[in-house]
Structures are given as C-alpha cells and as structure tokens.
C-alpha cells in the first residue's frame, strides 16, 4: 500500500521564479494538506483541499496556491519566490470520514520536497 | 486559537534511560493532541493520538503520553531509550477541520 508520494524531492530555484510541487495521497485518502517546514522549526499549515476545493487556509500570502484533482492528487504552486520560501514542503493526506468517526483526522505525511531559493 | 508549546528544543538521554518530552497546549475546546516523530530526510510519522477517550495513550515503539487537563499537558515518555529513538519529536493540536498546529519540535540525542 503506497503511502504519500511527493515530487520532486529536491529543487533549486532563484528569486522571482515559480515552482510547482506535486503530491499523491495515500490510497483511500481524499483530503490533502500542505505544510511548510523551515529549518529548525515545526511544520506550518498552508492550506487543505477536499473535494477539489480549498477548505482551510493558514497565514500564507496569495503567492501560495494549490489545486486538487479528481483523483485526489494535489499541487502546490508558489509564485514570485523569495529567499524565505526556502523550506521543506510536506504534503499530508487523510480521510475526511475519519474526522467524523473519531473527531480527529490522522495525517499521513510524505517525505517532502526540499526547496532552496537562491 | 489552539497552540502547543514544547519545552526544550534539545534533549540528551543515555541509552536505557527514561525519555521525557514535554508539551503544553492551549485550547478553548477539548483538544485533539498528537505526537509525531521525524527521522532525518523523512516526513513525519504518527506516534500516538489523544481524542478524548483514555487519558493515557499508548503509541508505537514503546512510547506513551498522558493527557492532563488540569495541567494542560500532554507529555511523551518512554521508559528505556534506544539508539533508534534519536530523531525530532513534534507535539501537535488539531481542530475539528483537521488543521494541525505543531510545536517547534524537540531533538532527541541518545548516547551510548
């Protein structure tokens, strides 16, 4: 059973460029969340997608956008890259129905995409 | 707003000694609390979760955590550290819609 897969694993961009990160959720999961983890910090919530719509958003500027496809996979796009966008970007998937059953989603994380902005 | 605070960014323990990682939460409603572990160059792996059932929660790899409402704490323990426990540990709180708020993390070093 494949877990959460992310691509690319590493990438280097320059300031002002745009980047697209991709995520395939764990089989059977329907909700995808994206987190940014700067060096030495805990993950910060960017946004969550469910039924192809953004359901929640954290305190990130509009330069950060996303998309969820009918097969539940997702993309994270970042425009006009800044040096401060350098981080590990984590995708996490979950099953929305579990939230109703136990009251809490359990997130399954991918290994992340490490973005370096020069 | 919900948040968690992890006390101690680095913890060093001897192999075989008790591991204690501290987490305090802030929440206006009964929280859902989690501990995740992150090994180098990997994503986060769930250790255990608290969702208002038993206050003592047992997780994987011999870890457990106790929810104490009076102290707003959810500390993680393991009776005997193993070299393979060296990793970074994150406490997290989740709201109803699944938005997780993570602590800053505690790096655990295990010495022989």
A interface toward B at CB cutoff 8 Å?
4, 31, 33, 35, 40-45, 48, 55-56, 58, 90, 92, 94, 96, 99, 102-112
Task: Give me the mean pLDDT over the A89-95 stretch.
Answer: 94
Condensed to tens digits (0 to 9), the pLDDT of residues B44-86 reads 999 999 877 788 999 999 999 999 989 999 999 999 999 999 9
Task: Give me the mean pLDDT over the A60-68 stretch.
Answer: 97
Share of chain A above pLDDT 70, in %: 93
Condensed to tens digits (0 to 9), the pLDDT of residues B2-26 reads 889 999 999 999 999 999 999 999 8
Strand partners, B106: B89
CB–CB contact B100 A106 (8 Å): no
Q: Within an 8 Å CB–CB cutoff, is residue B45 touching chain A?
A: yes
CB–CB contact B102 A104 (8 Å): no
User: CB under 8 Å to B23, separation ≥6 — which residues?
Assistant: B4, B5, B6, B7, B33, B35, B73, B74, B75, B76, B91, B103
Among chain B residues, CA nearest to A101? B51
Q: Cβ contacts (< 8 Å) between B42 and chain A: which residues?
A: 111-112
Q: Within an 8 Å CB–CB cutoff, is residue B97 touching chain A?
A: yes
Q: Report residue B96's pLDDT band, with 50, 70 and 90 as the boundaries.
A: low
Cis before B111 (ω within 30): no
Q: Tokens 């953004």 — which residue?
A: A54
CB–CB contact B98 A58 (8 Å): no
**pLDDT: which is higher, A70 or A102:** A70
Among chain A residues, CA nearest to B31? A104
């Amino acid at each position: 059973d494949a877990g959460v897969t992310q691509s690319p694993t590493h990438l280097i961009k320059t300031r002002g460029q745009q980047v697209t990160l991709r995520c395939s959720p764990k089989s059977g999961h329907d909700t995808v969340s994206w987190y940014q983890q700067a060096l030495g910090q805990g993950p910060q919530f960017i946004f969550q997608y469910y039924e192809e719509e953004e359901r929640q958003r954290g305190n990130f500027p509009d330069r950060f956008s996303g998309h969820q496809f009918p097969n539940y996979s997702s993309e994270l796009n970042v425009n006009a890259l800044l040096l401060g966008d350098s981080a590990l970007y984590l995708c996490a998937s979950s099953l929305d129905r579990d939230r109703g059953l136990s009251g809490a989603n359990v997130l399954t994380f991918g290994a992340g995409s490490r973005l370096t902005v020069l | 707003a919900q948040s968690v605070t992890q006390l101690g960014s680095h913890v060093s323990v001897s192999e075989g000694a008790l591991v204690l990682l501290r987490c305090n939460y802030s929440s206006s409603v009964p929280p859902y609390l989690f501990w995740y572990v992150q090994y180098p160059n990997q994503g986060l792996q769930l250790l255990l979760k608290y969702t208002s059932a038993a206050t003592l929660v047992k997780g994987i790899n011999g870890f457990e955590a106790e929810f104490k409402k009076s102290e707003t704490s959810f500390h993680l323990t393991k009776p005997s550290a193993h070299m393979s426990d060296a990793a970074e540990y994150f406490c997290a709180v989740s709201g109803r819609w699944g938005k997780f708020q993570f602590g800053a993390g505690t790096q655990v070093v295990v010495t022989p």
